Structures are given as structure tokens and as C-alpha cells.
Amino acid sequence: MKKASKRRAPSPIYSSPNQLIIEGFESPFDRHLNPENRWVKLAHLLPWDSLSNIYYKAFPKKD
């Protein structure tokens, strides 16, 4: 019998909000978000780099 192998979802890709922005390569979503929206304001308050480091520690290292 063939041994079943586990298939895992790909690791999420995180881009730091501190990443430099190159003109002309913006996402269409970045250009149309209202800066006064409460969710946009909240997103600017969260420490995304720290949160992503904690999140990535939960994933096993690739061999």
C-alpha cells in the first residue's frame, strides 16, 4: 500500500508596511482605500511586523 502524504497549505506571504514603495507598482486596493475608514485607521495602529513574527513561529521550518 502506498503511504498517504500530508499536503499542507502554502505558508502565507507577508509584506512589511515598512517596505519601500516603488512608484507605479501600487496595488489597486491601496489607491482606493479611504484613509478615514475605521479599518484603515486600525490597520495603521497595529504592529504588523511584531504580529507576523509571532505568527510565523507557529509554522514548522522547511527542510
Q: What is the pLDDT of residues 22-44, one digit of tens each?
A: 777 766 665 677 889 999 899 88
CA Rg value for the chain: 17
Residue with cell 500500500: 1
pLDDT at 2 over 80: no
Domain ranges of the chain: 33-57
pLDDT of 61 reads: 74
pLDDT of 38 reads: 94
CA distance 21 to 25: 8
